[in-house]
Amino acid sequence: MKHLLLALSLALSSQFVIADEPRETRKVCVDVKDKEGKPVKDSKTGKVKQNCKEVRIHKKLEGTQVPKK
């Protein structure tokens, strides 16, 4: 019984430690194109329609270059 309680407490505590860091996001927009590959324009505004999404920014790790053989 003690092992079960220990395992549950470790599982619950590990979830809270990982979830506390908010991630940075960036808005990315891509023009909408029709089947022919031409940009689609909005009839009201005359501007090109865009699909926008929020994407996470990943940190790039620095390292050393691999020597060429």
Residue 33 CB partners (closer than 8 Å, separation 6+) = 39, 40
| pLDDT confidence of residue 33 | 93
* pLDDT on residue 14: 59
Question: Would you list the domain boundaries of the chain?
Answer: 24-58
CB 7 within 8 A of CB 14: no
How high is the pLDDT of residue 13? 67
Structure confidence by residue, pLDDT tens digits, 10-53: 776 655 545 556 778 999 999 999 999 999 998 898 899 999 99
Higher model confidence: residue 6 or residue 46? 46
- pTM for the structure as a whole: 0.47
Number of residues assigned to the chain: 69
* Residue 16 CB contacts under 8 Å (≥ 6 apart), including other chains: none
